[in-house]
């Protein structure tokens, strides 16, 4: 089991974004939020990293090229989470804000999802209750666009760790459940979210 000190002392993983430099000195235990105390495969463990390019604290930035989500912290640092993203042209880059947050959210596939894959999604057109088997996992951050409202994009959990680090979703950004729970506790409503453009 990974303990808190091990998490904070861990270096930047091999999937680090180009704009991120490895932390020269690991932060002390009282300078960053606690890590999830649940085991996940080491390559996708969150890392506290130092940013090579300054970013405002309290924002979420997703780099699709490296399957990274950054939660920016004061002092030019961030927590880097490994994520899965939307496949093909279902990934939508742009600037959003967190318009809603839900624990163990229910899920309803969009009409477009049902049209693309009726065999899998038609049965849930009236919604699936929240729970361990729900595709949105333990927590979800709902991404909104000013003047447009709900984008129907989410940053959410998944109980399928094997999908992290790949482009497989219907457009949303996914983290394993322990990590999305950790992120969820830190992110307030109206947080700015930037989904970076694919190369």
What is the C-alpha separation between 161 and 176, in angstroms, rounded? 6
What's the topology of domain 4-195? L,D-transpeptidase catalytic domain-like (2.40.440)
**Confidence band for 80, pLDDT divided at 50, 70 and 90:** very high
Query: Is there a catalytic annotation at residue 6?
Result: no
Q: Which of 27-31, 32-36, 181-185 has the lowest mean pLDDT?
A: 27-31
Task: For residue range 98-154, list pLDDT tens digits in order.
Answer: 999 999 999 888 888 899 988 888 888 888 899 988 999 999 999 999 999 999 999
What is the C-alpha separation between 175 and 86, in angstroms, rounded? 12
Query: Is there a catalytic annotation at residue 179?
Result: no
Burial of 120 (0-12, 13-18, 19+ CB in 10 A): exposed
- Residue-level pLDDT at 41: 55
What is the C-alpha separation between 51 and 72, in angstroms, rounded? 9
Which among 38, 43, 48 is positioned nearest to 178, based on CA atoms? 38
DSSP states of 135-185? TTTTEEEEEEETTTEEEEEEEEEES-GGGTTSEEESS-EEEEHHHHHHHHH
Residue with more model confidence, 3 or 169: 169
DSSP bridge pairs for 81: 69
pTM: 0.77
What is the C-alpha separation between 156 and 88, in angstroms, rounded? 19
What is the C-alpha separation between 79 and 175, in angstroms, rounded? 13
> What is the residue extent of each domain of the chain?
4-195
pLDDT of 59 strictly over 90: yes
Average pLDDT (60-64) is 97
SS3 191: coil
What is the C-alpha separation between 177 and 191, in angstroms, rounded? 20
């Amino acid at each position: 089991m990974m303990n808190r000190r091990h998490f904070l002392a861990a270096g930047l993983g091999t999937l680090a974004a180009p704009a991120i430099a490895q932390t020269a000195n690991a932060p002390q235990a009282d300078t960053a939020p606690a890590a999830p105390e649940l085991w996940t495969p080491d390559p996708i463990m969150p890392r506290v990293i130092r940013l090579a390019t300054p970013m405002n604290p309290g924002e979420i930035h997703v780099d699709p090229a490296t399957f990274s989500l950054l939660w920016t912290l004061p002092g030019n640092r961030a927590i880097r989470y490994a994520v899965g993203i939307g496949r093909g042209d279902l990934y939508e880059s742009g600037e959003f804000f967190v318009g809603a947050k839900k624990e163990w959210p229910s899920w309803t596939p969009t009409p477009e999802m049902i049209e693309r894959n009726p065999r899998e999604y038609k049965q849930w057109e009236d919604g699936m209750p929240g729970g361990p088997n729900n595709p949105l996992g333990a927590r979800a951050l709902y991404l909104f666009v000013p003047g447009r409202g709900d984008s129907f994009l989410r940053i959410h959990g998944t109980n399928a760790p094997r999908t992290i680090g790949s482009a497989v979703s219907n457009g949303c950004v996914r983290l394993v459940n322990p990590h999305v729970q950790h992120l969820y506790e830190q992110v307030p409503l109206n947080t700015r979210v930037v989904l970076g453009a694919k190369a």
